[in-house]
Amino acid sequence: MSTLFIADIHLGNEHPEISQRFVEFLQQQAVAAETVYILGDLFEVWIGDDAVQPEHQAAIKALKQLTDVGTPVYVMHGNRDFLLGQQFEKITGCQLISDPLLIDLYGTPTLLMHGDSLCTDDGEYMQMRQQLRSPQWQQQFLGASIEQRLQVAQQYRDESRSRSQNKSQQIMDVNTNAVIGSMRQHGVTQLIHGHTHRPAVHDLKIDAQAAQRIVLGDWYSQNSSLHCDKTGCRLSNLA
């Protein structure tokens, strides 16, 4: 038996082929797993549980089928779908988990994160993150009409895209001190996250102890997934 990790699927109307691949992945690979973790940005954008978009239906149905046969599916909020809520849990049978989350992965204490909170060099992003995660902003946003919410979400994505073009790759990557700080705080030597779309296994040292940071890739072109069992973890970039 194995535990599967994926992140940054970014389901949306711009790439219908990703939805197809995701449904196949759930039906063929995830169904054989003991547990499935989705570490953020399952959806390109999620404007509220009351506004499920047509392009999300196939994935929602496939997630429900998977949880119906008894496979636990845990979903973490990403920076695109941080508004996933209780109604999403109800229609999919998935369970939302906190970021960060500490788990016991076959005897190895492991920290799970989306990864955006580690990008502390990008001050502008961190400030925006704080705003979007505030109950006041969320209450106001969810109180707007679906049409208005779609417009605001589009605006945010356009702005983030144009801002990213002027930022270096380094600024948009995780900050090493933030990584080590989080791992030390939770007493782990293994961290799994997504967000940066740079799949890799990084070896590092924390207080002279060997540690690993495993980064999941995206699903635009990388089809990234991580399979872990009692013998270890394998990152695969072409599922």
Binding flag, residue 217, Mn ion (CB under 5 A): no
Q: Is there binding between residue 41 and Mn ion (CB under 5 A)?
A: yes
For residue 119, which phi and psi values (nearest 5 degrees)?
A: -85, 60
Closest CA to 215 of 98, 113, 143: 113
For the CB of residue 230, give the shortest distance to Mn ion in the complex, in Å: 30
User: Which amino acid is residue 36, in one-letter code?
Assistant: V
- Residue nearer to Mn ion on the CB measure, 123 or 143: 123
> Can residue 71 be called a binding residue for Mn ion (CB under 5 A)?
no
Alpha-carbon gap, residue 236 to 234, rounded angstroms: 6
Q: How far is the CB of 201 from Mn ion (least distance, A)?
A: 19
Q: Is 134 left (phi over 0), alpha (psi -120 to 50) or beta?
A: beta
224 binds Mn ion (CB under 5 A): no
Tokens representing residue 23 in the block: 């449904």
How many chain residues touch Mn ion (CB under 5 A)? Answer: 4
Kindly state the helix (H) or strand (E) to which residue 57 belongs, with its residue range.
helix 57-68
199 binds Mn ion (CB under 5 A): no
Binding of Mn ion by 117 (CB under 5 A):
no
Q: Binding of Mn ion at residue 67 (CB under 5 A)?
A: no
**Restricting to residues 87-116, which ones interact with Mn ion according to CB under 5 A?**
none
Residue 196 touching Mn ion (CB under 5 A): no
CA nearest to 229, candidates 69, 35, 98: 35
Nearest-CB residue for Mn ion: 195
The footprint of Mn ion (CB under 5 A) covers: 41, 78-79, 195
